Structure 1
Amino acid sequence: MSSAPTATDTQIVRTLDEVVGAGERVVSVAPVALDASGRAVPLEIRVSAPTAGEGLPVLLFSHGNGWSLDGYAPLAAFWASRGFVVVQPTHLDSRRNGIGFDDPVFGRIWTERYEDLERVLDQWDTVEAAVPGLAGRVDKGQVVVAGHSWGAQTAQMLLGVRTLDESGQPGKDYADPRVKAGVLLAATGLGGGELHPFAKEHFPFMNPSFAELATPTLVVAGDRDQSKMSSRGPDWFTDAYTYGPGATDLLTLFGAEHSLGGIPNWEAAETTDENPERVAVLQRLTTAYLRSALNPSDTSWNRAVSALAETGTAIGRIDSK
């Protein structure tokens, strides 16, 4: 007797599976401690990698506000199964650290988040040694970054996005030349007068300048993502694509709210738009984009774009520059 089809056993998912291929088994190790002198809380990471394969690229992932290295399994496990070594730090804003808005440390968390990702690259020997059998299988010249919500803001710092100072001028350049491409998931847009008072008080980084975004980037936004941080509508989350020269593509997911169908974790309470098919499509599209961004001869992204246009029009659309 055959089993009933699952929510992800759909035509668009099957077509995208033909693009990204079957996955390998994954090994995941956590917590792994990294040196972080002066940090308010010790830095711990999770490392997930396929059990087979050589020349594996590195994918740094920055979680959304309050999460940790134990979140975002729907994305991290999939990316690792398709050939990426995925590294997930627990940032200081994680709920498990208990650092609230009134804590003096909170005001500098946005730069500490950036430092967490930099520490991963700077201490790569420790990262690689933490996973049995991984040594010698990683291509350290192939590094990409991804993040969701606040994590997208963190990721985009490495991609070249800068923060406007009080005079409206771009601040410090945090771009890391080791990072070759990125994926921004529900990244907040331009700041200014449309930011709500709470955001102005607690999130000074929500005044980005995307003009310096030069690294190839896929921007992902939900067309029903209404933020409490800005008076703008869901289009606020497309600003990185609109104003960033390096943001080559925009994936708009139809019906998606801030969790984009449930990427923070399976059955997470904060997911208001649970949709396994949407998550499955996002897993595969982001994989295809990053593969092609790292290897110009790889046709995965072009094939994935065509697949979505042909069989996934109910899920979303892709705009390209």
Structure 2
Amino acid sequence: MSASTYPADTLSLPTPVLSVSPVVLSAPGRAVDLEVRVSAPVTGSDLPVILLSHGQGHSHHLSSLNGYAPLANFWAAHGFVVLQPTHLSSSTLSRTLDPDTPGAPMYWRSRAEDMQRILDRLDVIEAAVPQLLGRLDPSRVAVVGHSMGGHTASLLLGARLTDPHDGTEADLADPRIKAGVLLAAPGAGGDALTEPVAESLPFLRTTDFSKMLTPALVVVGDQDASAHLTVRGPAWHADPYALSPGPKSLLTLFGAEHGLGGISGYDVAETTDGNPERVAAVQRLTWSYLRTQLYPGDPAWQSACDALTTAAEPLGRVESK
């Protein structure tokens, strides 16, 4: 899907992007301070914010603030400020952190708390990047996550789980976040999980999407079997849409596997379904969805959906509730 597939009025011309990292936020009680990459257009004011949560791939640096450049750069070039933390689960910290650190290995709670800490410290981030000072709109915030990052995003959007350590219900929903995008995110737990995952990652057993009220776009690949995680095949990744209340939308990408064409980085060897047109579709459709959710009445999402469905060879389909 080329840029020309989309009506010209739905997507502004890209602007140069400023990227600064690491911006270090002090984090008392966290094993190490929180490092964040900031990507922003060099011009514009009252800029909306995207919090981007990385997944857990094989490559060393993709699961950190250095990953997901195809998405971060695109969104920033089209008017968003993108904030990417390095979560404690990142392989870049594997030699720094004791494997017995509380929350290891996935640090599911800490991941969500990282995003809340970033929102608490937007003033510190602005001060650390003088070119950004006074240009953020904290009333327009979205969260996006891929794979394990999608799990993180779902918690911030209202999904719940039972903490396997103390049996309490974890409620990490953040009302400052107005919309979200879940990219190849984990689905429901229970008997949907493989036995090794249910045993090693028990927090995934009890995921409950019934209280995930914040508007969200769920993006899945119809060939994303994720056999190491689930016995249910690609349909598992659609659970955040199927099992949550509206308003929600589901984008199913034809032929896509877990990398959704290669969103985690440029020319990434671990991408099993490399496809630049598919990445372009994810870039534009996620941008359009968030643009319309954060600016009600903006036609970007409808225009993007229309372009997708009327293409000679559609790369996917969208349904909503």
Using the size of structure 2 for normalisation, the TM-score is: 0.92
**In the alignment, which of 202, 205, 221 is matched to residue 204 of structure 1?**
202
1:135-284 matched pairs, under 5 angstroms = 135-164=133-162, 171-206=169-204, 207-227=206-226, 228-284=228-284
| Conservation of the 8 A alpha-carbon contact between 1:57 and 1:143 | yes
| Conservation of the 8 A alpha-carbon contact between 1:17 and 1:284 | no
Give the secondary-structure state (helix, strand or coil) at the position aligned to 1:60. strand
1:38 shift after superposition: 2.1
- 1:35 pairs with 2:26: yes
Per-residue deviation, residues 273-313 of structure 1 (Å, max 9, x unmatched): 00011001110000000010011111111111111010164
- Between stretches 290-299 and 243-252, larger displacement belongs to 243-252
- Between stretches 101-110 and 227-236, larger displacement belongs to 101-110
- 1:71 pairs with 2:67: yes
- 1:45 pairs with 2:44: no
Give the secondary-structure state (helix, strand or coil) at the position aligned to 2:203. coil
Q: Residues 188 and 53 from structure 1, CA distance in 2 versus in 1: closer, same or farther, beyond 3 angstroms?
A: same
**What is aligned with 2:291?**
291
| Conservation of the 8 A alpha-carbon contact between 1:29 and 1:47 | yes
- Between stretches 104-113 and 191-200, larger displacement belongs to 104-113
Question: Partners in 2 of 1:102 and 1:191 — Cα distance?
Answer: 25
Question: Partners in 1 of 2:183 and 2:98 — Cα distance?
Answer: 24
Question: Partners in 2 of 1:148 and 1:63 — Cα distance?
Answer: 6
Q: Residues 161 and 295 from structure 1, CA distance in 2 versus in 1: closer, same or farther, beyond 3 angstroms?
A: same
- Between stretches 169-178 and 267-276, larger displacement belongs to 169-178
Per-residue deviation, residues 115-138 of structure 1 (Å, max 9, x unmatched): 111110011111112223211111
Which aligned segments of 4 or more residues in structure 1 are displaced greater than 3 angstroms? 99-105
- 1:24 pairs with 2:22: no
- Percent of aligned pairs with the same amino acid: 52
1:246 shift after superposition: 3.4
Structure 2: gaps spanning 5 or more residues: 58-62
Q: Residues 50 and 312 from structure 1, CA distance in 2 versus in 1: closer, same or farther, beyond 3 angstroms?
A: farther
**Pairs aligned (count):** 309
Question: Partners in 1 of 2:282 and 2:316 — Cα distance?
Answer: 10
Give the secondary-structure state (helix, strand or coil) at the position aligned to 1:87. strand
1:147 shift after superposition: 0.3
Question: Partners in 2 of 1:56 and 1:248 — Cα distance?
Answer: 24
| Conservation of the 8 A alpha-carbon contact between 1:48 and 1:76 | yes
Structure 1: gaps spanning 5 or more residues: 1-7
Q: Residues 306 and 48 from structure 1, CA distance in 2 versus in 1: closer, same or farther, beyond 3 angstroms?
A: same
Give the secondary-structure state (helix, strand or coil) at the position aligned to 1:210. coil
Letter of the structure 1 residue corresponding to residue 202 of structure 2? P
**What is aligned with 1:5?**
none
1:103 shift after superposition: 3.3
1:199 shift after superposition: 1.2
1:173 shift after superposition: 1.4
1:35 shift after superposition: 1.3
**What is aligned with 2:82?**
86
Question: Partners in 1 of 2:235 and 2:269 — Cα distance?
Answer: 25
Using the size of structure 1 for normalisation, the TM-score is: 0.92
Per-residue deviation, residues 117-168 of structure 1 (Å, max 9, x unmatched): 11100111111122232111111111100000000000111100111467xx
- 1:95 pairs with 2:91: yes
Per-residue deviation, residues 185-218 of structure 1 (Å, max 9, x unmatched): 0011111023112211232232311100111100
- Between stretches 243-252 and 272-281, larger displacement belongs to 243-252
Question: Partners in 2 of 1:256 and 1:101 — Cα distance?
Answer: 36
| Conservation of the 8 A alpha-carbon contact between 2:68 and 2:264 | yes
**What is aligned with 1:128?**
126
Letter of the structure 2 residue corresponding to residue 69 of structure 1? L
